[in-house]
Amino acid sequence: MKKVSFKLITTLWITLLIAVVCGVSTTALMIISSKSADDKIKQNLVAVVQSNSDEMEYSNGIFEVENDFAYYSGGIYCDLFTENGDYISGETPKTLVESSSLGEADVVEKEFDGKNYYVYSKLLDFTKFEYEIDVMSGQIISYEADVTPINELKPTPYKETSFRNGISTSEAIEIALSHAGTGFGEASIIGVDIPLYQDRQVFKIEFTAESSSYENVYIRAVCPSDEAVTVFDSVAKSAAYLLPFFVMAAAVGAYLISRKSVSTIEKITESAHEISTGNDLSKRLETSNAPREISNLAETFNEMFERLQTSFENEKRFTSDASHELRTPLAVIKAECEYALSEHADDEERLQALESVEEQTDKMSALVSALLVVTRAEHGQNRFALEKGSLSELTEEICTGFVPTKNIELIKDIEKNIEINLNVSLITQLIENLLSNADKYGRENGKINVKLYSEGDKAVLSVRDNGIGISSENLPKIWNRFYRADASRSQVQGFGLGLALVKKIAEIHSAECVARSEIGEFTEILIVFNK
């Protein structure tokens, strides 16, 4: 079954996410829009009633509606009713007039003739008065009553004035208050002026009273509630038209983003495939222009390729070296067997052939055992448990039990009480290999110096011989498997695995290997451990 591409999965998920977000946002927007439309219509009803309230007055005792009164404005009908609910004037359809609803404190929704309407009504109190009184005769020239909330107008101090053969300010105010049916205790004077007309001079008095003798009037505003639905439907339709485009744009954007993101991964995949199918493991993936996460992935691949290359080269060298080392004993075994089986060989010669076969078999067995130890060491230090132990005591014990050849003297200088994290078996093999190597390549009647000492937070193990030495160009190669530096060293019995194993054991103990040598003078191997 063909797997779905990352680009397609990313595109689908991002598109789905944006579609859900758009859907939720659109739903929330429509809900908010619906409520906003309702609130806006209700606010308009209140505003129209407030605006029309200023367009009515009682002038000289007669109720008048000014020309600026809006009986119909922006889908809102306005009507006037008496306080008893009798219709005065308006342009509202007859069914709405007959189904009048008055006295509600807030905007309410009512059903008239099978349709829903928002209704707002307000009772208007004519509590602001304006009088003009002749200053000489005290006669009322004109008077008006307007709709103004009492708390919107504050009392204003006035100057007392009087006219010879006329009336005073106080007398004029008393005439106005008396005519309005109120008194000084119930009224607040908000202004007294003495405007000068061409033919006469008057007191112009403005005041508010808590009550009025004029009949109050209801003003009612009505608006179909489907106005809000219309606004809501408009928003819903716009959202329904735009949502698919948003989702399509999101899908295209998601695809472009995923393609851009995946392009780098595809390049890495192609490069990795070329490296895995090719013969050159030294190639590496390019990471310079990649994003951080992908660059980290590429670096991880490069580290893996580095290990693979190293492992491949080690195995290649191991195969070559092992086959080289095994070829000679196998050839000897075959030759000895062929001769022993021939009719020319007598019993003594057959016995000598068997002894030779046994000797070569032992040599091969020792080689295989050494290779197994090196291989196990190369496959990671986690396989070996390390415990705190005395390196001093272990070195002393191994040196005491070691018996050099060729009359070589073993000299020890071991500092006591040096402890490190170690594996006793491996460290034993490391020290024995160092001693054996120094013994093989040391001089007849020579010396081997073994020294263990502390150096700061390090423990240093030194094994030095005064043998044939190693040239400077060959010194770095001594840690390689099957390596023997020159012809003179290759005459010595061994496989060239001793120092390779020493290095692997040191790595398992996080130790450092150092080699020093001079031709014909000495060779010294130092192992530096962390305490």
* Among the listed residues 149, 209, 147, 150, the one whose alpha carbon sits nearest the alpha carbon of residue 179: 209
For residue 387, the cross-strand partners are: 422
pLDDT on residue 74: 80
- Torsions phi, psi of 239, nearest 5? -65, -40
Task: Determine contact, residues 172/158, Cβ cutoff 8 Å.
Answer: no
All structural domains of the chain with their residue ranges:
1-118+219-264, 126-215, 292-375, 380-530
Beta carbons within 10 angstroms of residue 92's beta carbon: 21
Instruction: With a cut of 70, list the residues of the chain below it in pLDDT.
Output: 1-7, 29-34, 95-101, 149-152, 227-240, 260-264, 275-282, 284-291, 293, 314, 317-318, 320-322, 324-325, 328, 366-367, 369-383, 481-497
Q: Which residue has the tokens 């609910």?
A: 85
pLDDT on residue 8: 73
- Which tens digits make up the pLDDT trace of 149-208? 656 678 888 889 998 889 999 999 999 999 998 888 888 898 899 988 777 899 999 999
Instruction: Report DSSP state, residue 359.
Output: H
- Which tens digits make up the pLDDT trace of 444-466? 889 999 999 999 999 999 999 99
Domain 292-375 falls in which CATH fold? Helix Hairpins (1.10.287)
Beta carbons within 10 angstroms of residue 10's beta carbon: 17
Cβ-based neighbours of 330, under 8 Å, separated by 6 or more: 360, 364
pTM exceeding the 0.85 threshold for the entire prediction: no
pLDDT on residue 202: 93
pLDDT on residue 514: 94
Q: Which CATH superfamily is domain 380-530 in?
A: Histidine kinase-like ATPase, C-terminal domain (3.30.565.10)
CA 472 to chain centroid: 56
